[in-house]
Amino acid sequence: MSERQILLAIGTRPEAIKLAPVALALQQEPWARVRVLSTSQHRHLVEPALLAFGVGVDRELDVMRTGQSLSHLCARLLTATDPVLVQERPDLVLVQGDTTTAFATALACAFHKTPVAHVEAGLRSGDRDQPFPEEHNRQLIARLASLHFSPTEGARANLLREGIDAGSVHVVGNTAIDALRIADGIASASAFAPNGGQRLVVVTAHRREHFGLRLRAVCRAVRRIAERGDVEILFPLHLNPQARDAAMQELGGCPAVRLCEPLAHPEMVAAMRACAFVMTDSGGLQEEAPALGKPVLVLRDVTERPEGVACGAAQIVGTDEERIVAAATRLLDNASAYAAMAQPRFPYGEGDAARRIVDVLRLRFAAR
């Protein structure tokens, strides 16, 4: 088979983590010439995240500006991506998830009639504003992509209900589990072990739709949980100033809350290994924690990852302060309730999603 150029477009750290296993798998294929484009939507975080997997960046854009709107970001991405597509002339572009980078890249590819493959396709919350703008982005990408790599049968069913051609949809699992398998054990969980007799709870909160009163309610709940005296909270801060400022204002000075900068992926996996459970509005942690046997309290009203809830590994608690405290207290004080959730489960695959994606691509190109 003749050589094919595959461009991976990456804007955020989660995209880097989830596409790195695909890049590694493609690099083993003699027919694939892999090129990695970083849009720098998460400035300074994408390249280190990729390098942790041994993946380099070939092209880098500079699209971020302080305080820019989503419209300005999308416009800058379209403008900056256009010459890359002209110069690279990829046979296929891979985008991941539901970021503005993924949507803008898919739209730019449509303008150039360049095929797009969507990794993590078909996730739907059923609420256009939760998460925002991600729910919009992933629905729009579905209309632009030629290939859809769904993590679960439920995600595939979502696409079929929307009229996507069944022949273009492939259930492969989620590459987050591939990345977890690679990263697990690189960093030591003992580095995150709490003081004697205490239990560690890992918390992340950054959803745009929660900025303001909802995020502050989450932080107040975290403070109350920390003030029990038998819990230590690890809270990596998001780069978005609105998310950071709320956490620092509500939790700064609380001795049982450790606010820190974003952790590298291996360190985050190690922290989850060390913790009792996770409280998060992140999609990636909803996927990873069940595989580690760690219960997840989902700090959202709806989730596009219902499989974790269905198998008993996750519970939706929203952003109501009392509801969050009650759910966390139950896990901390009720041993049987905790044990029922704290079992390794794999609703998002066993860690072979990247290989399955590459198998589909090989067959597709060979058929041509």
HSE toward the beta carbon, residue 346, CA cutoff 13 A: 13
**Angle, nearest 10°, between helix axes 13-27 and 175-183?**
80
Query: 3-state DSSP: the chain helix, strand, coil percent, rounded to 5?
Result: 50, 15, 35
Length of the chain: 368
User: Within a 10 A sphere around the Cβ of 167, how many other Cβ atoms?
Assistant: 7
CA distances from 206 to 45, 131, 357 (A): 16, 11, 30
CA distances from 12 to 2, 6, 100, 192, 352 (A): 32, 19, 9, 25, 22
Pairing of strands 314-316, 231-236: unpaired
Q: Which residues are catalytic?
A: 98, 120, 134, 206, 208, 238
Task: For tokens 């396709």, name the residue.
Answer: 121
Q: Which of 80, 99, 90 is nearest to 42 (CA)?
A: 99
Give CA angle at 260 (249, 21), nearest 5°.
130
